[in-house]
Structure 1
Amino acid sequence: MYPTDREPIVITSLYPVLASSDVPAAARFYAELLGMSPTFTSDWYVSLRSGDAELAVVDADHATIPERARGARAAGVLVTVEVDDVDAVHTRVVADGGHDLLLPLRDEEFGQRHFIVAGPDGALVDIVTPIAPSEEFAALYS
């Protein structure tokens, strides 16, 4: 199903860069929601980091974006952020207000406790803590 006869690629970093119509506002959203700090800031690009996790925001109309893709929104993008205590993050998000909570905090049979908020420019942000899967799910996929 997956190619195994190829030489592996050495990946040194992998992170989402989300196109935005308002880079400062989007960067502020992710910094506040996820407790991230900027590592690089310009008027068209902001890189944020927390520990080993990195996320960046780029101006959707910047010249580095291929012309036919400029202005594109992040519709269909789901950014999953695994945290050690999803309940604490959910409590903070609800207390802060102003976030568009699309999926309330819940447990999934496949082994996640999570909630989803709407991010800027159409991205969805899925805040997750792994939990044990249900016995039924585990029996199907063991």
Structure 2
Amino acid sequence: MTDIADHGVRFGRIAAMLPVKDMAKAEAFYTDVLGFKKVFENGSPVGFMILKRDAGELHLTLQPTYKAPAFNVAHMMVDDVDALHAACQNYGLRIIKRLQDKDYGLRAFVFADPDGNRIDVGQPI
């Protein structure tokens, strides 16, 4: 087996793809609450959207019958996990794992977005 690194292949962006049942509701949450900006959308009605904030990027895909899994689908690193935790609580999101300092060097919590997607959020301690 050949190691792809031996061939000089470089990877560019890799973004989380989040299935959503209602694109407008998901867009409102990620833009109004988390501060992302829409940079691309496709379809009529919109079936795909790219959101960006700082170095973070999320791709939303419309899946009207989506049922969220019981595991984390994305991980976000932020520079103020306490502020993001407070914003999630103020919005009324379900907190799956409480905010705490982890023995692996992160202050972290897990929340479920309006579609039930579990997102792990961390900040280096």
| Fold equivalence (TM over 0.5) | yes
The alignment covers a number of residue pairs equal to 119
Bigger CA drift: 101-110 or 28-37? Answer: 28-37
2:87 is equivalent to residue 84 of structure 1: no
Correspondence for 2:106: 112
Give the CA RMSD over aligned residues. 2.2
Q: Spell out the pairing of 1:1-142 with structure 2 (5 A cutoff).
A: 3=3, 6-42=6-42, 43-60=46-63, 71-75=65-69, 76-94=71-89, 96-131=90-125
Whole-angstrom distance in 1 between the partners of 2:76 and 2:107 = 12
| Larger RCO, structure (CA 8 Å, separation 6 or more) | 2
The normalised TM-score by structure 1 is: 0.71
Whole-angstrom distance in 2 between the partners of 1:128 and 1:48 = 20
Whole-angstrom distance in 2 between the partners of 1:44 and 1:5 = 35
Identify, as 1 or 2, the structure richer in strand: 2
Correspondence for 1:68: none
Unaligned runs of 5+ in 2: none
Whole-angstrom distance in 1 between the partners of 2:5 and 2:124 = 32
Runs (4+) of structure 1 exceeding 3 A deviation are 3-6, 71-74
> Are the aligned partners of 1:18 and 1:74 in contact in 2 as well (CA < 8 Å)?
no
> Are the aligned partners of 2:33 and 2:91 in contact in 1 as well (CA < 8 Å)?
no
What residue identity is the alignment partner of 2:83? A
Whole-angstrom distance in 2 between the partners of 1:59 and 1:91 = 28
Superposed CA deviations along residues 39-64 of structure 1, whole A, max 9, x for unmatched, are 11341112100122110101126xxx
What residue identity is the alignment partner of 1:121? D
SS of residue in 2 equivalent to 1:9: coil
The normalised TM-score by structure 2 is: 0.80
What residue identity is the alignment partner of 1:78? V
Whole-angstrom distance in 2 between the partners of 1:52 and 1:5 = 24
Unaligned runs of 5+ in 1: 62-70, 132-142
Bigger CA drift: 29-38 or 5-14? Answer: 5-14
- Residue 83 (structure 1) shift: 0.7
